[in-house]
């Protein structure tokens, strides 16, 4: 852990910087996983720029910024020049944005600016520097302006894990200004924590009101929306053998999962079949793409996992009662990515779950479902109905109700 480095996702001071870019920090695997969908878009490129202390900087007046182009489906890192204001008594440097904010078919277009000095959603009520978000004046729409594809042009969208109801049009650029005064006079390089703040600002923006994440934003609706997203819930991570050894952790651990984790709104398939029969809406996500394939053949559901990536306990919990082509379906195709590696389970309704809950269902499945599907031919009439009846009867006997 790095001393006094706040977590990009929850604001905890016990965070560790990203090994590649060193520009964002996370206090846990769960917080890192929460940010990965957007962080990965710029992580490698930022590390390339930051190499050798930004040796590729065009000039001392250029600083790194994040550009959300109107016509491309992902943000990018750009160098932004700055120009000294000759009318200011004290040195003041304007970012040079003409080319980035230009739309063909128009001359000069009016601009709008929003400043952010903290992010209450991420536990940062204040910041050392000021994030400036520049975009085109919405009251004077230029010709040929379209919805910003970098923000809205993918499925899920860049801001898909936010409130996300405001539609941004035209290019948007995020620039960092040094300090937190009324109007900081100098630019500085943006960080990928500030990039996360920019995404949150854009995603929680309300027309004429501002962004819900701004410090001091205290209207009732903003409070209600953020209350559902701030803080964490308890989930359970089932570790594969490799992670048990490497991380010195038991097979099953309770973990604090941010309420902004994509499992709660963007990702995760239908809840696990058997727990859902008793009212527990468990959804799952694997840790890392290298674990999802397990080194085997992705087209073969029976391919053995790579050494150490076996996770028999998770496979029990993911087991279904479905039948296809006269055979029991152990794991449906849409969950193939959950075959191997460590798996995170959370309750989609954002309730805490405990390791005892997972143990209870794993025991139920191992003692009732596994023997049944091994003994009963799935093609027999009423086979699934009999299995569900046995499950319900045994679940009632064990007091399973959520």
CA atoms within 13 A on the CB side of 14: 2
**Confidence check: pLDDT of 266 > 90:** no
Using one digit for the tens of pLDDT, what is the confidence trace for 203-244? 999 988 899 999 988 888 999 999 999 999 999 999 999 999
What are the structural domain ranges in the chain?
Answer: 16-227, 231-290+306-398
Using one digit for the tens of pLDDT, what is the confidence trace for 126-137? 989 999 999 998
List all residues 6 or more positions away from 78 whose beta carbon is below 8 Å from its beta carbon: 64, 65, 66, 67, 100, 173
Element housing 348 (H / E): none
Q: What is the mean pLDDT of residues 134-146?
A: 89
**Confidence check: pLDDT of 12 > 60:** yes
Q: What is the mean pLDDT of residues 81-105?
A: 86
Q: Enter the tokens of residue 88.
A: 């200011």
What burial class does residue 14 get, using C-beta atoms within 10 Å of its C-beta: 0-12 exposed, 13-18 middle, 19+ buried?
middle
pLDDT given at position 299: 38
Using one digit for the tens of pLDDT, what is the confidence trace for 157-186? 999 989 999 999 999 999 999 998 877 889
Residue 4: which pLDDT band, with cuts at 50, 70 and 90?
A: confident
pLDDT given at position 332: 86
**Confidence check: pLDDT of 303 > 70:** no
Per the model's pLDDT, the better-predicted residue between 288 and 223 turns out to be 223
pLDDT given at position 288: 62
Average pLDDT, the chain: 90
Q: What is the mean pLDDT of residues 261-269?
A: 80
Residue 361: which pLDDT band, with cuts at 50, 70 and 90?
A: very high
pLDDT given at position 175: 97
pLDDT given at position 217: 83
Q: Give percent above pLDDT 70 in the chain.
A: 94
Tell me how many degrees the CA angle 65-70-72 measures, rounded to the nearest 5.
85
Q: What is the mean pLDDT of residues 295-299?
A: 36
Residue 292: which pLDDT band, with cuts at 50, 70 and 90?
A: very low
pLDDT given at position 293: 31
**Confidence check: pLDDT of 383 > 50:** yes
**Confidence check: pLDDT of 359 > 70:** yes
Return d(Cα 238, Cα 243) in angstroms, integer.
10
Look at 68-72, 304-308, 366-370 and tell me which has the smallest mean pLDDT. 304-308
Closest C-alpha among 379, 378, 386 to residue 328: 378
Distance of CA 46 to the CA centre of its chain: 18
**Confidence check: pLDDT of 122 > 90:** yes
pTM: 0.88
**Confidence check: pLDDT of 70 > 70:** yes
**Confidence check: pLDDT of 290 > 50:** no
Q: What is the mean pLDDT of residues 107-111?
A: 86
pLDDT given at position 296: 35
List all residues 6 or more positions away from 353 whose beta carbon is below 8 Å from its beta carbon: 234, 235, 236, 280, 282, 345, 346, 347
Cis check: omega of the bond before 340, within 30 degrees of 0: no
Q: What is the mean pLDDT of residues 317-332?
A: 92
Per the model's pLDDT, the better-predicted residue between 290 and 386 turns out to be 386
pLDDT given at position 289: 44
Residue 150: which pLDDT band, with cuts at 50, 70 and 90?
A: very high
């Amino acid at each position: 852990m790095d001393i006094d480095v706040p977590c990009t996702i929850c604001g905890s001071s016990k965070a560790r910087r990203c090994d590649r870019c060193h520009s964002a920090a996370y206090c846990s695997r769960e917080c890192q996983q929460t940010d990965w969908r957007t962080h990965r878009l710029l992580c490698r490129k930022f590390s390339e720029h930051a190499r050798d202390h930004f040796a590729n900087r065009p000039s001392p007046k250029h600083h790194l910024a994040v550009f959300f182009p109107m016509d491309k489906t992902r943000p990018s890192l750009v160098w932004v020049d700055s120009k000294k204001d000759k009318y200011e008594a004290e040195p003041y440097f304007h970012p040079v944005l003409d080319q980035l904010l230009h739309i063909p078919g128009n001359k000069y277009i009016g601009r709008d600016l929003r400043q952010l000095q903290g992010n209450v959603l991420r536990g940062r009520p204040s910041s050392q520097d000021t994030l400036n978000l520049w975009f085109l004046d919405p009251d004077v729409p230029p010709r040929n302006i379209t919805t910003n594809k970098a923000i809205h042009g993918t499925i899920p969208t860049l801001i898909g894990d936010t409130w996300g109801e405001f539609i941004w049009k035209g290019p948007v650029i995020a620039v960092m200004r040094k300090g937190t005064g009324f109007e900081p006079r100098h630019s500085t390089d943006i960080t990928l924590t500030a990039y996360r703040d920019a995404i949150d600002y854009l995603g929680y923006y309300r027309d004429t009101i501002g962004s819900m994440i701004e410090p001091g934003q205290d209207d009732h609706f903003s409070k209600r929306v953020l209350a559902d997203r701030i803080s964490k819930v308890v989930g359970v991570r089932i570790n594969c053998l490799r992670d048990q050894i490497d991380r010195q952790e038991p097979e099953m651990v309770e973990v604090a999962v941010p309420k902004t984790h994509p499992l709660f709104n963007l990702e995760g398939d239908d809840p696990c079949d058997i727990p859902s029969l008793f009212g527990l809406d468990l959804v799952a996500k694997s840790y890392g793409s290298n674990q999802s394939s397990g080194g085997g053949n992705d087209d073969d559901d029976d391919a053995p996992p790579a050494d150490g990536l076996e996770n028999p306990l998770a496979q029990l919990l993911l087991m279904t009662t479905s039948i296809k082509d006269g055979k029991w379906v152990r794991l449906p195709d849409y969950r193939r990515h959950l075959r191997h590696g460590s798996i995170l389970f959370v309750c989609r309704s954002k309730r805490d779950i405990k390791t005892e809950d997972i143990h209870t269902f794993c025991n139920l499945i191992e003692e009732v479902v596994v023997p049944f599907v091994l003994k009963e031919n799935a093609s027999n009439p009423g086979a699934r109905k009999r299995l569900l009846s046995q499950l319900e009867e045994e679940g009632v006997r064990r007091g399973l109700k959520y």
